[in-house]
Amino acid sequence: MTDLEFLKLSGPAKTAWKIGDFFRRLPGKIAGGCKKLGLGVVSLFKNFGLNIADLVQTFIHGDWKTKLSYLVMGFGSAARGQWGRGLLFFLFQTVFNLYMVNFGVAYLAKLNTLGTIETYKEGRRTVYGDNSFFILLYGVLTLFFVLAFIYTWRMNIKQNKISEQILKSGHKLKSTKDDLKSLADEQFHKTLLALPTLGVFVFTILPILFMILVAFTNFDATHQPPSKLFTWVGWDNFRQLLSSDTASYGNTFKQVLFWTLVWAFFATFLNYFLGMLVAIMINKKGIKLKKLWRTILVMTIAIPQFVSLLYVSKMFAADGLINSYLLKWGWISQPIPFWTNAHWARVTIIVINLWIGIPYLMLIATGILMNIPADLYESARIDGANAFQMYRKITLPYMLFVTGPYLLSSFTGNINNFNVIYLLSGGRPLSLELSGNAGYTDLLITWLYKMTVTDTNYKLAAVMGILVFVVSAVINLVVYNMIPSVKNEEDFQ
């Protein structure tokens, strides 16, 4: 399709063509990605080989201080007067050796089985055996520690090689005082990032990796350490959750996934367009008390959701305020099943979410609308454009260009919107047709919560967490490559 033909398409047709064009190019992109991955693997092995060769050459041509540093980290640095570096290297090696001797080796040895000795009672005394949870956790931590040691040991050898070259060239090595000054000056970024990096590793990377590994075990209510052991089961949990049997976790997963995507779509785009409409109405010339209307809307988001959503949930109950007044006025003959009928519950949640989401979008849209050049609207009026045409050709494209990344993050956030679902319906109504205590209004994230807290089915909860990530990542990847603010960063069409 030529650029001229593309410009002649209507808005929906352009979107459809972009989606189709993305999937037409997808095989090529996948092939290109696989090629890059292959080249990356080749480069990794090549760098590994170069590092091994460099280690051998450094040992052969290095002096006795460098050679001794292969066994005692930091010796070469300390022997050349760099006591600070040498002491840090030596302390790290000492801590590593003590950890491995006392804990690390034992955890690594049991990592392939996650323990073989169960806890048992001997008379009144409880004899504790292996703890699969700690074996998995500290086993993974030990692997990271080993990798960190290898990297630090390599830096130790590289430091000795550089020091030798500097001394041979006739220059002087940095002292400990110089190193400390460097950490407060040109290397200050490393000083600042050291603690946050450690925190990210301990509180983010390690738990994520632990969750991924739990997905390949049978860790659940019947395999709770320390009284019971759990072990590796391979891909069994994934097969169970993705099975196609009617009365199975696979069938429930498909239904919950479908409702999650439907909910995310309506919760994102209804709020977006209605919030934009409210902002346009309030900003319209001639509207009085604009600050009052904005204040009233903002008040709905000033109240904590924990309070407001629980209160609204009670209002829509069978004996709640809404049904009571409708019965009293004679508009209905029996209570509307807002939370006991699947269709009513889903529609009710989407409608109530408008009350929460529209004020946010109104505030965002207000700021953007005020920055649209008034000359564009004036020129459109002179050309005879009506209000809808100006909205479609000026306001909406401008809003989409500016708020494209927000729409993407909002959609992802709604996929994982725990508060609204849990506080309003708790996933109800439940059904025997759904497995794992899931309800018809449960999202993947609320079902995962039930698996973890209520059913203590950690293995399937871990699989669910991985699948939620995959769904979110695929959607983000597709949409991110389509939004105008990414494709046309330097201009506005």
Question: pLDDT: is 279 or 484 the higher one?
Answer: 279
Q: Domain count of the chain?
A: 2
CA distances from 466 to 112, 228, 258, 424, 483 (A): 22, 25, 17, 26, 26
Give the span between the Cα atoms of 149 and 438, in whole angstroms. 45
Are 372 and 424 members of one domain? yes
Report pLDDT digits (tens) over 128-160: 788 899 999 999 999 999 999 999 999 999 999
Q: Please report whether residue 16 resides in a domain.
A: no
The lowest-confidence range among 63-72, 124-133, 182-191, 297-306 is 297-306
What pLDDT does 141 receive?
Answer: 92
Q: Please report whether residue 244 resides in a domain.
A: no
* pLDDT of 10 higher than 60: no
Are 213 and 272 members of one domain? no
Are 329 and 361 members of one domain? yes
Report pLDDT digits (tens) over 306-340: 788 888 888 998 888 898 999 988 888 899 999 98
Report pLDDT digits (tens) over 212-247: 999 999 998 888 888 888 999 989 888 888 877 656
Q: Please report whether residue 162 resides in a domain.
A: yes
Average pLDDT (426-437) is 83
Are 133 and 262 members of one domain? no
- The confidence band for 1, taking pLDDT boundaries of 50, 70 and 90, is low
Q: What is the CATH number of the domain that holds 479?
A: 1.10.3720.10
Are 208 and 297 members of one domain? no
Which of residues 234, 269, 290 is at a domain's end?
A: 234
On the 0-12 / 13-18 / 19+ scale of CB atoms within 10 A, 492 is exposed
Q: Which amino acid is at 215?
A: A
Are 325 and 286 members of one domain? yes
* pLDDT of 446 higher than 80: yes
Are 155 and 260 members of one domain? no
- The confidence band for 16, taking pLDDT boundaries of 50, 70 and 90, is low
Are 155 and 259 members of one domain? no
**Structure tokens given for 261:** 């995507």
3-class secondary-structure state, position 318: coil
Which of residues 203, 234, 265 is at a domain's end?
A: 234
Strand partners of residue 121: 126
| 89 within 8 A of 74, measured Cβ to Cβ | yes
pTM above 0.85, yes or no: no
Q: Please report whether residue 492 resides in a domain.
A: no
Question: pLDDT: is 204 or 456 the higher one?
Answer: 204
User: Which residue segment(s) compose the domain that 230 sits in?
Assistant: 62-234
* pLDDT of 285 higher than 80: no
Question: pLDDT: is 350 or 180 the higher one?
Answer: 350
CA distances from 282 to 28, 278, 289 (A): 48, 6, 9
Q: How many CB atoms lie within 10 A of CB 174?
A: 17
* pLDDT of 493 higher than 50: no
* pLDDT of 173 higher than 80: yes
Give the span between the Cα atoms of 444 and 125, in whole angstroms. 43
- Hey, which bits of 271-403 come out as E strands? none
Are 113 and 138 members of one domain? yes
Report pLDDT digits (tens) over 403-430: 888 888 888 889 888 888 988 888 888 8
Question: pLDDT: is 459 or 286 the higher one?
Answer: 459
CA distances from 9 to 276, 392, 444, 492 (A): 24, 14, 37, 18
Which of residues 174, 206, 234 is at a domain's end?
A: 234
Strand partners of residue 8: none
What pLDDT does 140 receive?
Answer: 92
Q: Please report whether residue 5 resides in a domain.
A: no
Are 217 and 290 members of one domain? no
Nearest to 254 by CA among 479, 436, 451, 474: 436
Q: How far, in whole angstroms, is CA 216 from its chain's centroid?
A: 20
* pLDDT of 5 higher than 70: no
Q: Please report whether residue 343 resides in a domain.
A: yes
Are 200 and 260 members of one domain? no
3-class secondary-structure state, position 243: coil
Q: Please report whether residue 353 resides in a domain.
A: yes
Q: Is the dihedral of CA 215, 221, 225, 231 positive or negative?
A: negative
Average pLDDT (155-183) is 87
Are 343 and 217 members of one domain? no
**Structure tokens given for 417:** 């919107």
Q: Please report whether residue 229 resides in a domain.
A: yes
Q: How many CB atoms lie within 10 A of CB 210?
A: 15
Give the span between the Cα atoms of 343 and 366, in whole angstroms. 34
| Average pLDDT score, the chain | 84
